[in-house]
Amino acid sequence: MGEVPVHLTVNGRRREETVEPRLTLADFLRDRCHLTGTHLGCEHGVCGACTVLVDGAAVRSCLMFAVQADGADVTTIEGVASPDGDLSTVQAAFRDCHGLQCGFCTPGFVMSVTAFLRDNPRPTDEQIREALSGTLCRCTGYQGILKAVRQAADAGQRGERS
Amino acid sequence: MTGTAAGGAARFIGARVHRVEDARLLTGRGTFVDDISLPGMLHACFVRSPFARAAIRAIDTSAARGLAGVQFVFTAADLNPGVKEQWHTSMGPGSPETPRPPLAEGEARFAGDPVALVIAETRYVAEDAADLVEVDYDPLPAVVDYAEAEHAEALVHESHGSNVIGEIAGLSPSALEDVFAAAAHVVSETIHQQAYAPVPMEGRGLVVDYSGATGELTIYAATQVPHEVRLFCSRLLGLPEHRVRVVMRDTGGGFGQKVMVQRDEMCLMLAAPMVGTPVKWVEDRRENLLAAGKSRQEHADVKLAFDVDGAIQGAYIDFVQDCGAYPTPWPVTTSAAVGMLFPGPYRVPRAGFTCKAIYTNTVGRSAYRGPWQFESLAREVVLDISARRMGVDPIELRRRNLLRRDELPYTNPNGMPYDSISPLETFEQALAMLGYEAFRREQAEARTAGRHLGVGVSNYVEPSTPGYGYYGTEAATIRVEPSGTVNVYIAGGSTGNSIETTVVQMAADALGVKIDDVNTIQGDTAVTSFGAGAAGSRSGSMTAGAVRETATVLRERILAIAAHKLEADTEDIELADSRASVRGAPATGLSFAELAALAYFEPGSLPPGVPAGLEASARYTADAPVIWVNATHVCTCEVDATTGHVKLSRYIVSEDCGPMINPDVVEGQIAGGTVQGIGGALYEHLAYDEDGNPIATTFMDYLLPTATEVPVIEYGHIETPSPGPGGYKGVGEGGAIGAPPAVVNAVADALSPFGVTVTRLPLSPAQIVALVDQS
């Protein structure tokens, strides 16, 4: 199968690779970039565990080919905390609110919530539930996650770091 | 009062301590099995049967082998002869297990049955090659409906001679004839539960890495039981146990699905020495829903006898469960638990049961959080039906029959010896939290406005922390390292149960050190002592025992060194904040760093009889054969009788897990189990069509609850200490036991004006509309 070049930026670093057209962005990030924080929970776009930001938009990386991300700026879970390890507001809220247990779905939640709160800084509880409905968790019953998003939204409104 | 693991002051136990697992998991630095990448690693993909039952006439692998990048294509003839022994420690070598060929041999017995294994340079190529493997199948009539299987002509396992795997019975109906004949009310119903499954967000997976030169096999696994994977593998391949190492850092949920080694995993183990380079197999979601196992799928004829005042006089359950083609493990003993526990936390003078396990040509039964939970579903649903038929309030009926504290210890009629439980207390607490009378008024008003609100309750008593056999012991090693920081080695393994945090909390209190000074190392059989893993709601209590035993030894040694150096009596030494100091003279003391320096670098300065270094290992043996735990679930809902939509409004769980080590962890476990139970009651269905084709193999068809469906869960805690360490009890499974009957009862209550009787799950919109239409 012929390979094609892709050029993209991942967590602020330029990557130039040659890939099969059928390689998903998720597998590109995991296998080529060795960024294994992006997890695959279904590979058919329902569970949301593989969510990353592509040019700022929350995208299911299992449903996108790496070649479709040519020229894009991609942020994965590894690019969310500050380089010295300080958690983002969203990450800290998940920790504070017991918003994760096994942690497998967590990167997808952190990425989609990060994008959601950027676009909807003052969400209602109903909007939070809607925003989370595309990401599946099997451990927490969503209780801690709902609290975490509320905490992160409130912290954002108080002007704390996000 | 919260206890501590070894007599120190409780500072961290009982507190909502932040989890130590979170820093890595929140930043993408966790290590799940699919994150393992080794030099030269190949990738595996299974060829699976598309038929529920078919003879395998021939397999042509030549096209697949010819594809660039393909290294091996194995069939049963290659792998199956490598099996030396095949048994799990908890079942023992003598268990009458189903024959489990690693790859299907001669006959495929369910759609999804592994038939060949392709090993290639990438998973993409392995999947391409799997499509090129030509299997000549001869489809055979399949046994799909377990209720008909006993009398079906076709046999799932010809060698077994019957589709009935086994049957266990207590007292028979004829032995209870007098009870039912004399009863003022007898209520009989048949209750059905559909197939649903653990569905962890991470599927199963293994990386196997065999070195021919050393004869060593390293396995990275998604598992709840690293030591059992090692033992099983050593038996399977005939390798000495110490040549097998199993490592797991993060497992993405298990809920029972990862407590046993299944056929797919055996295939990877058997392939490892033939391949000689590392091989990874991580199942995708389709495989997980096709082949990782199903749970539930069962029904029972239930009969309850009451006297004129509603006091239960007798209970009988005739239970049948579908075990698929390859149940793991042998299901008959676990099915018996349904019968034994059927009386629940009630005063039931006489009881009997029959429990039957059946083979079908569907995916095999595997363990799932509260594997026997049907006893609670059947009992609690039929209690509500009984209350309705007898014209009494379901709350009043339960209140009349629930066991009171002054009746404990109480042995149920099947011989289950309950103690240290509080069923009436959790029940009353949950109802008070709801405001039961106020809800009934709200419901009555809503009904006049044409709205259908309902409330459902369930009570259960659950055996946690099995204290016998393989499960009855757990070990810990604690090292105060030369710098004074602490490492705790425990079999454990992070599967979402927060066991790393729990261990760190307990060790910090037991030794009197700062929590940041404690680290834990788990899940690697090369460095931790044997343990039976995360199963049976055992980790909290058993780990507490292991830390207690070990810390006690170490604490004595630390006290002796400090007393010697500070010229004080050991009784006057206090350990706190990573310091040993003299009681009443806090300035006089030694830091753990100073104590460790003495122990490791100045062995000559130690008091007589105290060994150099500061590490200890000890093994705890369970104090009790079982630790009972109880809870009450109360749920309210609104049902739209036109669309069949159910909205859960309030959800209350009052539980008695003894003192809590970390309330966040306890509530997280309850919430997770409860929402799994809600999923089972309303949404999830691992369905097959009548030909045995699975029809829910994606998350578009297998519906997990999402954030838009779940109610806010409110928690009430009652604290009755157990006989185990710290008084702790197991809390991992209960949510999944209590939730389905509470939800079913709430929906049935909402629909009671229609006169419907709800006896089947899941309560999908279509099912509810059908019930209303038939009324």
Residue A153 has which token pair?
Answer: 């939204």
Residue type, B242: H
Unique residue bearing structure tokens 């983002």? A88
| A35, A100, A136 member nearest B704 (Cβ) | A136
Cis before residue B329, ω within 30 degrees of 0? yes
Arithmetic mean of pLDDT, A36-40: 98
Residue-level pLDDT at A157? 84
Residue A136 has which token pair?
Answer: 């599946």
| A146: enclosing H helix or E strand | helix A143-157
Cβ of B668 under 8 Å from any chain A Cβ? yes
Distance from CA of B502 to the nearest CA of A (A): 13
The domains of chain A, with CATH numbers, are 4-77 (3.10.20.30), 89-157 (1.10.150.120)
| B28, B199, B496 member nearest A77 (Cβ) | B28
Cβ of B447 under 8 Å from any chain A Cβ? no
Residue B665 has which token pair?
Answer: 């962890």
Cβ of A46 under 8 Å from any chain B Cβ? yes
Cβ of A21 under 8 Å from any chain B Cβ? no
pLDDT over threshold 60, residue B2: no
Residue-level pLDDT at B484? 98
Phi first, then psi: give them for residue B622, nearest 5 degrees. -55, 140
Give the torsion sign (CA, A115, A116, A122, A125): negative
Residue-level pLDDT at B3? 43
Q: Tell me which chain B residue has its CA closest to the CA of residue A125.
A: B708
Arithmetic mean of pLDDT, B381-405: 98
Q: Tell me which chain B residue has its CA closest to the CA of residue A91.
A: B26
3-state secondary structure of B743: helix
The confidence band for B346, taking pLDDT boundaries of 50, 70 and 90, is: very high
Residue type, B205: G
Report if pTM > 0.90.
yes
The confidence band for A161, taking pLDDT boundaries of 50, 70 and 90, is: low
Residue B451 near residue B444, CB atoms below 8 Å: no
DSSP conformational letter for A70: T
Q: Tell me which chain B residue has its CA closest to the CA of residue A89.
A: B26
Task: Write the DSSP assignment of B213-231 as a string of letters.
Answer: TTTEEEEEE--S-HHHHHH
Q: Tell me which chain B residue has its CA closest to the CA of residue A45.
A: B699
Arithmetic mean of pLDDT, A76-105: 97
Burial of B604 (0-12, 13-18, 19+ CB in 10 A): exposed
Per-residue b/e over B390-427, b at no fewer than 16 CB within 10 Å?
bebebbebbeebbbeeeebebebbbebebebbbbbbbb
Residue type, B397: L
Q: Predicted ipTM? A: 0.98
Q: What is the CA radius of gyration of chain A?
A: 16
pLDDT digits (tens, 9 = 90+) for B260-303: 999 999 999 999 999 999 999 999 999 999 999 999 999 999 99
Residue-level pLDDT at A1? 61
pLDDT digits (tens, 9 = 90+) for B231-258: 999 999 999 999 999 999 999 999 999 9
The confidence band for B5, taking pLDDT boundaries of 50, 70 and 90, is: very low
Residue-level pLDDT at B10? 73
Contact list in A for residue B32 (CB cut-off 8 A) is 36, 39, 104
Gap between the Cα atoms of B274 and B80, Å rounded? 13
Residue-level pLDDT at A94? 98
Residue B648 near residue B770, CB atoms below 8 Å: no
Contact list in A for residue B200 (CB cut-off 8 A) is 102, 104, 138
Gap between the Cα atoms of B599 and A139, Å rounded? 43
Nearest Cα residue to B428 out of B466, B457, B389, B386: B457
Burial of B41 (0-12, 13-18, 19+ CB in 10 A): middle
Residue-level pLDDT at B492? 85
Arithmetic mean of pLDDT, B579-590: 92
DSSP conformational letter for B369: S
Number of neighbouring beta carbons within 10 Å of residue A68: 15
Distance from CA of A114 to the nearest CA of B (A): 13
Contact B706 A132 (CB under 8 A): yes
Gap between the Cα atoms of B406 and B423, Å rounded? 12
Q: What is the 3-state secondary structure (H, E, C) of B617-659?
A: EEEEECCCCCEEEEEEEEEEEEECCCCCCEEEEEEEEEEECCC
Gap between the Cα atoms of B769 and B754, Å rounded? 11
Residue B471 has which token pair?
Answer: 């499960």
Gap between the Cα atoms of B750 and B756, Å rounded? 10
pLDDT over threshold 50, residue A80: yes
Number of neighbouring beta carbons within 10 Å of residue B373: 29
Number of neighbouring beta carbons within 10 Å of residue A32: 16
Instruction: Calculate the average pLDDT of chain B.
Output: 97
Distance from CA of A98 to the nearest CA of B (A): 6
Cβ of A150 under 8 Å from any chain B Cβ? no
Phi first, then psi: give them for residue B54, nearest 5 degrees. -160, 145
Question: Residue B174: which residues within 8 A CB-CB, separation 6 or more?
Answer: none
| B598: enclosing H helix or E strand | helix B592-601
Residue B155 has which token pair?
Answer: 């046999």
What is the distance, to the nearest Å, from the Cα of residue B105 to the centroid of all Cα atoms in its chain? 31
pLDDT digits (tens, 9 = 90+) for B447-466: 999 999 999 999 999 999 99
Cβ of A87 under 8 Å from any chain B Cβ? yes
What contacts 24+ positions apart, CB below 8 Å, involve B389-393? B389/B185, B389/B187, B390/B185, B390/B187, B390/B306, B390/B310, B392/B310
Task: Write the DSSP assignment of B557-583 as a string of letters.
Answer: HHHHHHHHHHTS-GGGEEEETTEEEET
DSSP conformational letter for B5: S
* Interchain CB contacts (distance < 8 Å): A and B: 184
Residue B750 has which token pair?
Answer: 């909402």
Residue B548 near residue B612, CB atoms below 8 Å: no
| B236: enclosing H helix or E strand | helix B226-237
Nearest Cα residue to A108 out of B44, B675, B707: B707
Burial of B576 (0-12, 13-18, 19+ CB in 10 A): middle
Arithmetic mean of pLDDT, B177-196: 98
Residue B410 near residue B403, CB atoms below 8 Å: yes
Residue-level pLDDT at A159? 77
| B202, B250, B672 member nearest A140 (Cβ) | B672
Cβ of A151 under 8 Å from any chain B Cβ? no
Residue-level pLDDT at B586? 82
Phi first, then psi: give them for residue A65, nearest 5 degrees. -85, 150
| A94, A110, A133 member nearest B706 (Cβ) | A133
Gap between the Cα atoms of B285 and B647, Å rounded? 28
In angstroms, the Cα distances linking B236 to B86, B244, B263, B269, B281 are 5, 11, 11, 8, 18
Instruction: Calculate the average pLDDT of chain A.
Output: 96
H helices within B238-291, ranges in order? 263-275, 285-291
Residue B47 near residue B135, CB atoms below 8 Å: yes
Nearest Cα residue to B324 out of B293, B355, B346: B293
Residue A161 has which token pair?
Answer: 């770091």
pLDDT digits (tens, 9 = 90+) for B33-83: 999 999 999 999 999 999 999 999 999 999 999 999 999 999 999 999 999
Residue-level pLDDT at B165? 98
Give the angle B718-B722-B726 at the CA atoms, nearest 5°: 95
